[in-house]
Amino acid sequence: MAPKDKENARNDGPEALDSVGWTSAHTRRLVSADAPIELELGGTVGPVDVEYETYGTLSSRKDNVVFVAHALSGDAHVAGWDRDTAKNGRVWRQRKPGWWDAIVGPGKAIDTNRYFVICPNVLGSCYGTTGPGSLDEKTGKPYGLDFPMVTVGDWVAMHGRLLDALGIARVHAVVGGSLGGQQALEMALAFPDRVERAVVLAASARLSAQGLAFNAVARYCILNDPNFASGNYYDRASGPDNGLAAARMLAHITYLSDEGMHQKFGRRLQTDDGKKAGFGIEFAVESYLDYQGRAFAERFDANAYLYITRAMDYYDAAARWGEGSLVDACRRVRARALVVSFDSDWLYPPGDCKDLALALAKTDRPVTYANVPSRYGHDSFLVETQKVGRLLRSFLAH
Amino acid sequence: MTPQPRPAHKLVTDRELDHLPEGELEHRVTQIIALMKARRQRPAADESPRWQEEIIAKEIPMGASVLDLGCGDGFLLERLIRERNVRAQGVEIDPDQVYSCVDRGVPVIQADLSAGLLWCPDKAFDVVVLEETLQTLQNPRDVLEEMLRVGKRGIVSFPNFAHFRVVVDLVARGRMPVTPRLPFYWYESANIHLLTLRDLCDWAEGSGVRIVSGHVLVEGVPRELQPDDDLVAEEVLVVVERGGP
């Protein structure tokens, strides 16, 4: 190991002064088996267990809560190093810290010396919160596609239940990127009196037709994988890994930008033997996507991917709260809002994000909207940690 | 923005120049020479770079709503929030300036003013500020109209291109003026629509806009606007309202 690598390893590990260190998730039953809840689209579910992580210390007045909402493939493990990988089997977490470790920690933009950070895994996901892979107590088998359809509204209702269970009346801020940003918006709409600040990164009030199209292809890949078995693959030797990997490959393309891909991979070949003879992995970009696809299939549940992408498709803040008018919907909001877009993002394009910010502004609320120049596409909200960190740190401080 | 019919451009012809009032040209030149001489004998004046903000802070009532168009780093709005408890909203095009606003706790929308303020309802703000922004805009007249649509009052400040120092630069040096208030060479200046005090007054008169009050910066010292200030005003600040008296 080169001296520089050694240094980095030490600075980036759980012992680093600005890391939240070793983490352990909590699980809480928020809905009991004998009192299932009704969901937005008519189904019912119960019991519901929610896995969540917290960092920092809740103040005695419970007024320092920063609620983080995760995105499509995210989980409650926002920061630090999972202590329980041997127990929970999430071995990939041994290689890297939580998904927003650059932003959340002692002295970082979301400063855990100051704030009490909470992030739950969403209903229908596969990281400890009840979802299609959970055991259906009625049948003794995993739900599979018998799991009811869930929505962003249902997730946020569950966030409300979690806050209730923790005795937290109001949050200092709710923060999220992408599908997490839509949860932040929905939380400001559904619980106007519980949210003081809402930070919506790389997200708008609804997904565009192009975004719907990407999700449709992703689901097609999963649903048509021969191992999908109508979603009842949990007791089989293999699940729809190829379909899920293909879905993830497509998703990764939507997270990057043309320019970003050009800079990262160009037309570089993976091997330099010069042979152009087959359909294997030849270009660097192919290798990258192949790796991302396989790695994802190891850590994510295909059914959960179906449910969560559908929730993403259905979300439309204007339809849900304003009878089609985003401005009318935004009249509910009491929070101070920060909306951030990234100029190379084509999943939630800047124009759509700006429309949300301007709808909020139209209701006489003070609003901040920033369009960050970046070539990292939709991923920018995770990658542009300096700019995003500066915006978050300052916005949360005022 | 709704396109508005524009009056045909009125060309100032040679003939009109020939018919300036008797002795007008000679009078102005004499004035300019006298001002230049007086300037040489005076010590260098204080630059008071933020002089407008003192006046704006006084003009804005406690608790008012204020929209600052081209709010820069948010310095003015931060002060107004602190001193005047205003409901502040800034608009700024430059992302780095936007981050500075957020650092100061100033709500700001990153947007190009040339695109109008479609998001903003009529008379949504008590005061709309255009501080040293007008001359940098692609379509300053449209933005002035928008200012008075969304605001009950407007406050506009700009460098006066008829200031004698500017005129001398242009006439005696034969080059685009570079002055403390216009510190850029022609090829790097953001000032693409330079105007004078009289130009602003003409616009107001032609657009049914009333100038409620005015201030000028003269030799680095702010004072109230007086008649015939157009050669001595380095910068101008006017408070304007739609409609007659």
Q: Which pLDDT score, from 0 to 100, does residue B22 have?
A: 85
Strand partners, B109: A369, B91
**Who has greater pLDDT, A397 or A9?**
A397
Flag whether pLDDT at B3 surpasses 80.
Answer: no
pLDDT band at B226 (very low <50, low <70, confident <90, very high): very high
Instruction: List CB contacts (< 8 A) between A336 and chain B.
Output: 107
Burial track B113-150 (b if 16+ CB lie within 10 A, e otherwise) = beebbebbeeebbbbbbbbbbbbbbeebebbbbbbbbb
pLDDT band at A1 (very low <50, low <70, confident <90, very high): very low
Flag whether pLDDT at A4 surpasses 70.
Answer: no
Q: Which CATH architecture has domain A3-207+316-397?
A: 3-Layer(aba) Sandwich (3.40)
What CATH code would you report for A208-314?
A: 1.10.1740.110
Instruction: List CB contacts (< 8 A) between A359 and chain B.
Output: 119
Active-site residue numbers of A? Answer: 178, 345, 378
Burial track A85-121 (b if 16+ CB lie within 10 A, e otherwise) = eeebebeebeeebbbbbbbbbbebbbbbebbbbbbbb
A3-207+316-397 and A208-314 agree in CATH topology: no
Contacts 24+ apart (CB under 8 A), A284-293: A285/A261, A288/A252, A288/A264, A289/A249, A289/A252, A289/A253, A290/A245, A290/A249, A292/A248, A292/A249, A292/A252, A293/A244, A293/A245, A293/A246, A293/A248, A293/A249, A293/A252
Question: Which of 94-153 (B) contact A at CB < 8 A?
Answer: 95, 98-99, 101-105, 107-111, 118-121, 124
Contact: A391, B102; criterion CB under 8 Å: yes
Contact: B111, A361; criterion CB under 8 Å: no
**CA distance to partner chain B, nearest, from residue A320 (Å):** 21
- Helix, strand, coil % over all residues of chain B, rounded to 5: 35, 25, 40
Flag whether pLDDT at B12 surpasses 70.
Answer: no
Which amino acid would we find at residue B202? D
Closest Cβ opposite residue B87 in set A366, A369, A397: A366
Q: What does the domain layout of chain A look like in residue ranges?
A: 3-207+316-397, 208-314
For A320-356, write each residue's pLDDT tens digit.
Answer: 999 999 999 999 999 999 999 999 999 999 999 999 9
Closest Cβ opposite residue B95 in set A359, A373, A397: A373
CATH numbers and ranges of domains, chain B: 21-242 (3.40.50.150)
**CA distance to partner chain B, nearest, from residue A46 (Å):** 42
pLDDT band at B45 (very low <50, low <70, confident <90, very high): low
The predicted model scores a pTM of 0.93
Q: Count CB atoms within 10 A of the CB of residue B111.
A: 21
Flag whether pLDDT at A112 surpasses 90.
Answer: yes
**CA distance to partner chain A, nearest, from residue B98 (Å):** 7
Q: Count CB atoms within 10 A of the CB of residue B185.
A: 10
Q: Count CB atoms within 10 A of the CB of residue B182.
A: 21
The token duo for A286 is: 């192919």
Contact: B119, A371; criterion CB under 8 Å: no
Chain A within 8 Å of B168 (Cβ-Cβ)?
no
Flag whether pLDDT at B6 surpasses 90.
Answer: no
For A370-385, write each residue's pLDDT tens digit.
Answer: 999 999 999 999 999 9
For A173-189, write each residue's pLDDT tens digit.
Answer: 999 999 999 999 999 99
Q: Which pLDDT score, from 0 to 100, does residue B47 have?
A: 64
